[in-house]
Amino acid sequence: MASKVFKRLWSIVALEGLILLAVVVYLRREGLPDGLPLSIQWLPWAALGAGALVSWRFRRSRLLFGVIVLVLADRGLARWGWAATEPTTVFHAIALLLPVNLFGLTLLTERGAVTRAGLARFGVIGVQVGLVLLLAASKLEWLATPMRLSVLPEGWFGWTPVAQPALAVFLATAGFMGTRLVACPNATGRGFLWASAAAFLALNASGGAPPASVYLSTGSLILIVSVIEASYFMAYRDALTGLPARRALNEELLRLNGQYTIAMVDVDHFKKFNDEYGHEVGDQVLRMVAAELERVGGGGTPYRYGGEEFALLFPGKFAEEVVPHLERVRESIESATFTLRGGGRPKRRPENPKPRRNAKRKRVSVTVSIGAAGRSDRRSAPSEVASFADRALYRAKKTGRNRVKVAGGGP
């Protein structure tokens, strides 16, 4: 239970949250010098260049639009954000537009930057730039009143220069992004959530434009990191099950020294599930098996090897030591209840499910065969250990399935 809670929390915080925390701690402890270093003055433009490059390289247009929004906000605040020490109408307009734009980008799909959809997004940003310029020229002063509207007592919000309408928008968009992130963890959503947090800190930064520029540039950095992290996930994580993929296993094997054991796990009669019930049911089976493999003991780590095959890696263990753990996970998969979804059954379980009378529910049995092999003098290379584990898996299949076999003897 504790590990699940930690994983959920980490899915929200992760590297992006730690980056922002480090910047907050630094600015609170060290602050910025009176004479702003040239490196910090160029920080927004460096973020824009890096964002454009990473966006082009990884084909992530939302990153480009997100960085553009943050850089434009930075320039607008630096030029028109504060009159003496008071926030201006431009400040309040940017405070409203920033969370809306960042939240909106989380809802969009990747459609490219120079496509029709991309050009339309550039147009939407251009309209907002025009609005801010008109406010800066005092052409739309009538908008100042609704942007500074106070519904609740102003004494409650003396800690922030952000007006109540913008505060409400920040709170609503952050709550929605956070809820989606808990339900479906992903690096892109996490990046936009923490970029929004960085934008809020920029608007509340004491000292005006210089620290605000640092926070907004940090928001751009967070978006860049989230794209790189998402690309890493695609390369090293299996999208269907969420387990580390075969590439991650191969690299982990190269780092191992000393004794280890590899166990190959194969879903029995998996082709039957796909042929008889369809690929959607087959995907459900793979996710269920992956979830059970994640509970394996003995320090084992599960990997999606390919197709219906998984691998378990046990560093520092002999094959005979891991057999009890393999048997337990095999039995847990066999005893797990797997109910096929009916035609009218919702994809997600409702909060208050109503009993369905005369509902036909079909339960199917899922079993796995497992073959294990440990590193030894005659099989020291990872490829050789994996090959022996495959042979043991073949013996498990040949002798009746739903069993564990160990290379070179054993059960």
- pLDDT number for residue 358: 47
Residue 158, both tokens: 């003396």
Per-residue pLDDT at 64 exceeds 80:
yes
- pLDDT number for residue 410: 41
Per-residue pLDDT at 225 exceeds 80:
yes
If you average pLDDT over residues 384-409, what whole number do you get? 89
- pLDDT number for residue 359: 47
Lowest mean pLDDT among 32-36, 127-131, 165-169, 326-330: 32-36
If you average pLDDT over residues 155-177, what whole number do you get? 93
Q: Compute φ and ψ for 110, nearest 5 degrees.
A: -75, 110
Closest to 285 in 3D by CA, of 379, 396, 366, 392? 366
> 4: pLDDT confidence band, cut at 50, 70 and 90?
low
Q: Distance between CA 284 and CA 360 in Å, rounded? A: 19
Per-residue pLDDT at 108 exceeds 70:
yes
Domains defined along the chain, listed by start: 2-236 (no CATH), 246-339+363-406 (3.30.70.270)
Lowest mean pLDDT among 115-129, 263-277, 318-332: 263-277
DSSP states along 107-157: HS----SSSHHHHHHHHHHHHHHHHHHHHHTTS-GGGHHHHT---S-GGGG
Q: Compute φ and ψ for 359, nearest 5 degrees.
A: -75, 130
- pLDDT number for residue 363: 72
Per-residue pLDDT at 383 exceeds 80:
yes
If you average pLDDT over residues 319-324, what whole number do you get? 92
Render pLDDT for 273-295 as a digit per residue (tens, 0 to 9).
888 888 888 888 899 999 999 99
215 close to 202: Cβ distance less than 8 angstroms: yes
For the chain, what percent of residues have pLDDT higher than 90? 53
The CA–CA distances, whole Å, from 330 to 77, 267, 272, 393, 400 equal 60, 10, 19, 13, 14
Q: Distance between CA 400 and CA 262 in Å, rounded? A: 21
Render pLDDT for 240-255 as a digit per residue (tens, 0 to 9).
888 999 999 999 988 8
Lowest mean pLDDT among 116-120, 135-139, 216-220: 135-139
**Chain-wide mean pLDDT for the chain?**
86
- pLDDT number for residue 7: 60
Q: Distance between CA 94 and CA 72 in Å, rounded? A: 9
Q: Distance between CA 94 and CA 83 in Å, rounded? A: 15
Torsion of CA 43, 46, 50, 51, to 10 degrees: 60
Per-residue pLDDT at 3 exceeds 60:
no
Q: Distance between CA 293 and CA 289 in Å, rounded? A: 6
Closest to 65 in 3D by CA, of 48, 88, 84, 42? 48
Render pLDDT for 15-46 as a digit per residue (tens, 0 to 9).
888 999 999 998 888 777 665 566 677 889 99
204 close to 212: Cβ distance less than 8 angstroms: no
- pLDDT number for residue 344: 47
10 close to 17: Cβ distance less than 8 angstroms: no
Closest to 78 in 3D by CA, of 220, 212, 221? 212
Token pair 């980008």: residue: 105
Q: Compute φ and ψ for 303, nearest 5 degrees.
A: -135, 145
248 close to 305: Cβ distance less than 8 angstroms: no
- pLDDT number for residue 306: 87
71 close to 47: Cβ distance less than 8 angstroms: yes
Q: Distance between CA 334 and CA 289 in Å, rounded? A: 10
What is the pTM for the complete model shown?
0.76
Closest to 312 in 3D by CA, of 361, 257, 363, 243? 243
Q: Distance between CA 173 and CA 188 in Å, rounded? A: 15
227 close to 54: Cβ distance less than 8 angstroms: yes
> What letters, b where the CB count within 10 A reaches 16 and e where it falls short, cover 268-282?
bebeebeeebeeebb
> 148: pLDDT confidence band, cut at 50, 70 and 90?
confident
403 close to 370: Cβ distance less than 8 angstroms: yes
Residues with active-site annotation = 308
